[in-house]
Structure 1
């Protein structure tokens, strides 16, 4: 009698059953078994087809004409509709009480994918989704997920932090302002990122904040801006959609700089190209394309997606937040400011500078970051911040010597546990005195040149680590101790021997 064993072969999407003979089987059994195995192999090679996305809806409570949040979303969706050929349905300026019914309406019409633009759509999406399992919903800037709902929650604070850092470096009055639509958690986070960035580069700065409680009335944005300008603000930033254009108009009237939001508003608001220094931009098309692609390929997963900062539109990686170029105002930004801004963005990208999500207001003069004099110390604890003394000596965080020190730290020392522990202890010691020395370097050119000369032996000795093949903790300890002893010899033993030798010669005379 022929005995059979059942083996289940699974993939992410389905199960196949293969029946294998445990004992000898007759010719008919071989034929039947071959057919079963062939069927299983075909099933494994070619997964069941999924329904392609042919209808996509974009729904939002914003206006598509706001030249910011709504315009960015509409442009992204129409570009993708032209690229992929899907039918695009839209609904704008949806009242908050009508959000749930709007989602149901598009789901009833058989839309495969709904992109809900705005965090207010999160809870209604979770309510509606179970009733329409064939419709997938992506909430842009959502805060929750479910079986049929995914949320894309960009780390917008990673974009507004460098914007604030730029404001802190560019202000002449030490007062900058933010105008927001309404104090929702996402908007508070955007403001707190801006505030923390301003305090990072300028601990003396005062950051004003006003809320219009209206997204569509430029007059309210203008009034809020005028009040801040009266209090001394000379740089203004908004996240208030159409109302924010009133803020920009006020900045233009007073001849001060403004920062745009969501889109590169120096371009979209060409009447203000002499006023909008830069903007924090959301690469919404990149996010929407990801939402369409994973759904169309049958790979939708109800999850939270949190993309951070990127180098520019369509940049590598998952980031979707970036700063717009300065355009014709390029010459208005000093080179040292650009250098530091680039270094800050780089530190955020590589994880050395961590900007926390902050949904609650911090007190005046405080931020979500810990500020150590002129330097923020909220970085990955084991990795430390920049080299203040070298930066002051060589004039920029982007100087080759400073970049070299950063690379040695990141790519060599921090790759081992012993190196990480060393950096943690070293940072506590180093940052206890380095700000004072760095400040004195900036005040005294002669001292700056002396420090630069003194750093040369250290930089030379550290080049040895570039040629070392460090694959273990013991090797890191060996090379590390060796470099430390070498520097002790160069900085202390050699000078001591020289002094003693010279002293003996003088005494003999």
Structure 2
């Protein structure tokens, strides 16, 4: 059959429309990129960033990509630009070190949102995300001061997130007993489990009957020391469930699902109502932060103290108690 030129051109036009509509829809798909300062194959901070990315993919249907970087600010800026130029709507720089690069690139890509972990910034389309760990640690401090004689805090490195957590613990304890003794030590890294264990044992030998280690990968060493010291030394499981390491010592569990927090922030961006200030996750965000008690150990938190802690938790969530100041 012979086609006229007009019929041919109309057919081409129709085909163009049929092809361009899906292409336009594809261009509008939510795309999210992730920059991490290391490998996502290792448990810890970088894996949390990757879990956030996967959560956005699974819950919001986003197309995702990530890049593992060394501590090189020039590579940070290049990675941000690469993603933004490819139409990525959201890019998460997983660490405070990405903030300056994001601020530089964001000026050229006003329609892209740059989320920065462990940052308190909000400048245009650059939004900081933080988890206020002082809040659950405040509750731990209250319990320690009501049930114990002395507390010990073992940190990895003296950096703001750990200092913030420990400040919360100390403020919580002091709210019960201003003279409650608390010792504090840092091992100088996040990998030396032996050093964390020795620091905890030293505190226990000096009378600490509540010990909380907070040293990332080295944390398990602290729980080993607690377990070996018998059930009279108590603790709280933080970030992950360390009950198998110290089954007779852990009274409660603090979990921060930062990854889900990121998902919720990206959801607001997708829905057209992005955050108007830097984001701070806390006890007001039950999808992100939880503090629960154990009932299956040899020692548990008495019901009257649990009721007091619940009331305090509600006040913290409502902003009536400042935990990290």
Of 279, 282, 285, 1:308 maps to: 282
- Which of 59, 64, 89 aligns to 1:88? It is 64
Contact 1:264 1:278 in 2 (8 A): no
Partners in 1 of 2:136 and 2:216 — Cα distance? Answer: 17
**Aligned residue for 1:343?**
311
Residues in 1 aligned to 2:35 and 2:155: alpha-carbon distance in whole angstroms: 22
Following the alignment from structure 1 to structure 2, what is the Cα–Cα distance between the partners of residues 336 and 168?
Answer: 14
Q: CA deviation at 1:71?
A: 4.4
Match of 1:116 among 93, 105, 118: 93
Counterpart in the other structure of 2:174: 199
CA change 1:307–1:62 in 2 (3 A) is same
- CA–CA distance in structure 2, aligned partners of residues 278 and 237 of structure 1: 11
Return the alpha-carbon distance in structure 2 between the equivalents of residues 234 and 162 of structure 1: 16
Distance 2:123 2:175 in 1: 37
1:208-287 alignment runs, 5 A limit: 208-255=183-230, 256-261=233-238, 263-266=239-242, 270-287=244-261
Task: Specify which structure has the higher proportion of strand.
Answer: 2
Between 116-125 and 225-234, the greater mean CA deviation after superposition: 116-125
1:130 corresponds, among 81, 93, 107, to 107
- 1:67 offset after TM fit, Å? 5.4
Once the 2 structures are TM-superposed, how far is the Cα of residue 58 of structure 1 from its aligned partner? 3.2
Q: What is the TM-score of this pair, normalised by structure 1?
A: 0.52
Per the alignment, residue 156 of structure 1 pairs with 133
Q: Structure 1's 347 and 300: CA in aligned 2 closer, same or farther, altered over 3 A?
A: closer
Per-residue CA distance 1:439-486 (angstroms, 9 max, x = gap) = xxxxxxxxxxxxxxxxxxxxxxxxxxxxxxxxxxxxxxxxxxxxxxxx
Summarize the Cα distance change of 1:297–1:332 in structure 2 as closer, same or farther, 3 Å threshold: closer
SS in 1 for 2:254: strand
Q: What are the Cα deviations for residues 134-181 of structure 1, in whole angstroms up to 9, with x where unaligned?
A: 43211223122222210123333222111111122222xx22111222
| CA contact 1:62–1:69 (8 Å) conserved in 2 | no
Residues 144 and 150 of structure 1 are in contact (CA less than 8 Å); yes or no, is this contact kept in structure 2? Answer: yes
Contact 1:100 1:125 in 2 (8 A): no
Q: C-alpha distance in 2, partners of 1:322/1:302?
A: 25
| 2:270 corresponds to 1:296 | yes
Number of equivalent positions: 296
Q: How far, CA to CA, are the matches of 1:72 and 1:118 in structure 2?
A: 11
Shift of residue 195, structure 1, vs aligned partner: 0.5
Secondary structure in structure 1 of the residue aligned to 2:235? strand
**How much has 1:50 moved relative to structure 2?**
12
Aligned mates of 2:40, 2:154 — CA distance in 1? 20
Separation in 2 of the partners of 1:61 and 1:117?
7
Contact preservation (8 Å) 2:253, 2:291: yes
CA contact (8 A) 1:161 1:198 kept: yes
Q: Distance in 1 between matches of 2:265 and 2:153?
A: 31
Return the alpha-carbon distance in structure 1 between the equivalents of residues 208 and 39 of structure 2: 29
How far did 1:289 drift?
Answer: 1.6
Deviation for aligned residue 1:290: 2.2
- Conservation of the 8 A alpha-carbon contact between 2:226 and 2:246: no
Cα deviation for residue 66 of structure 1 reads 6.5
Work out whether residues 156 and 321 of structure 1, in 8 Å CA contact, stay in contact via their aligned partners in 2: no
> Structure 2 length as normaliser, TM-score?
0.77
Counterpart secondary structure, 1:288: helix
Equivalent residue, structure 2, for 1:189: 164
Asked if the contact 1:165–1:341 (Cα under 8 Å) also holds between the matched residues in 2, the reply is yes
Secondary structure (helix, strand or coil) at the match of 1:114 reads: strand
Which whole-Å CA distance do the structure 1 matches of 2:274 and 2:314 have between them? 32
Distance of 1:330 and 1:58 partners within structure 2: 43
SS where residue 124 of structure 2 aligns?
coil
Per the alignment, in what secondary structure is the counterpart of residue 59 of structure 1? strand
Alpha-carbon deviation of 1:253?
1.9
Whether the 8 Å contact between 2:80 and 2:105 is mirrored in structure 1 is no
Structure with greater proportional helix content? 1
Looking at structure 1, the residues matched to 29 and 183 of structure 2 have their Cα atoms a distance apart, in angstroms, of 46
